[in-house]
Amino acid sequence: MIADGLRVLFCGINPGLMSAATGHHFARPGNRFWPVLHGSGFTPRRLDPSEQAELLSYGLGITNVAARASARADELSRAELVEGGALLTKRVLLHRPRWLAVVGVTAYRVAFADPRAVIGSQERTIGDTRIWALPNPSGLNAGWTTEAMVEEFGRLRAAAGD
C-alpha cells in the first residue's frame, strides 16, 4: 500500500503466515505494530490490520522488504533480503516518501549492506527519502518493550514533522 507523497512508508521484513493468509500487514495478534503506531501518535486510534488502507489518510504507507511469507523473519535468505532491498529502493524512488521506516534493523542491515546500522535515523538516503531503522514489533523481539518502541516510533514521528 504505497502512494506518492507519503510522509512515512513503513516497511516490514516480510509477511508472516497470518499476514499472508489475511492480506493484512502485521496481522498476528501478538504483533505490536498497530498498538505502537497508535501509541506513538501516528494514528488517532488503534487500527486493526484489516483497516490498513486508512493509513493513506494519515500520509502513511506500508510494504515489506521481501515478499515471501514465513513463520519467522530469520527463515529468509540473505539473497532474498538483498533482492528485496533493491526492489524497495526502486519503489521508494518511484513514490518518493519523505521517510522510509524499516521495521527491523537486522533486515535493514542486510538489505542495504549496512552492517553497523543502529536503530534511528540513518545517514543513507534513497534520493530525497530519509531512512529510519525501527525495532521489529514482533512478539518474538523480547529485547524491546512496547513502551520503548512507542518512544522510538515517536522520535520518527517528530522527525517526520508531526
pLDDT digits (tens, 9 = 90+) for 14-59: 888 788 888 898 888 888 999 999 999 999 999 999 999 999 999 9
Q: Is the pLDDT confidence value at 3 over 70?
A: no
pTM, entire model: 0.92
The mean predicted confidence, pLDDT, of the chain is: 90
How far is the C-alpha of 45 from the C-alpha of 101, rounded, in Å?
A: 20
Give yes or no for a contact between 115 and 81, defined as CB atoms under 8 angstroms apart: no
**CA 162 vs CA 30, 40, 42: distances in Å:** 28, 11, 8
Tell me the three cell numbers of residue 158.
517528530
- The predicted pLDDT at position 76 comes to 84
